[in-house]
Amino acid sequence: MSLPVVLQRVKDLGYKVFDGDADYDLNIVGIRSKDTTVNTFNDLMTVSYKVKGQWFTRSWACTTDPGLYWMQNPMRVDGCAQLVCGQYRGSHKLGKHRGQYNALVQTGNKVRVYRDPDKDETFDQAIESITEGYFGINIHRANSRNTSRRVDKWSAGCQVIADPKGFEDFIKLCRKQVSTNGWDSFSYTLIEEW
């Protein structure tokens, strides 16, 4: 059985695809849109996995970019964070986002981020700004009160699924990986739209 299109792209980029025989061995892939409009949920979060040898892929609108509020009011002097495209093996585990609700939290391996300190409405991806570490780049949700559908304060660099119901489906799949296989760490791959 051939790979889902998104996983073929991941493989073509030289990253690991979890395509063994285990059910619910999740491939979590964010796709950053070519559309660079700031403050929008214009990206895609995908999860691909097998059940009894058959591939399934789910996807949800998300942002892989920080919201305008945090770009203009960064938490750090060196600027707001934006995750660098790449594969982050074992980078996340189930936990509480800011102690409030279940999410995938960065408690495993380090990630790499760009920093943009100029506080304008364009995110600069300067190679020299890249730093690696533990920055709390979680995978979480916006909420149903976000009727404007703008990112605003929902992301200071996190990967944020726009729809809370879709996010609950995402978390159920993560729990299914843990209950089926006992694997409590999750890899995250961020790629650009092709």
Burial zone of 13 (CB within 10 Å; 0-12 exposed, 13-18 middle, 19+ buried):
middle
Strands annotated E in 18-130: 27-32, 43-51, 54-63, 80-83, 86-97, 101-106, 111-116
Residue 1 pLDDT: 67
Average pLDDT by stretches of 10, the chain with 194 residues: 93 97 97 93 97 97 94 92 97 92 94 94 92 96 74 91 95 98 97 96
Residue 189 pLDDT: 98
Q: Report pTM.
A: 0.95
Residue 122 pLDDT: 87
Residue 104 pLDDT: 98
DSSP state of 69: H
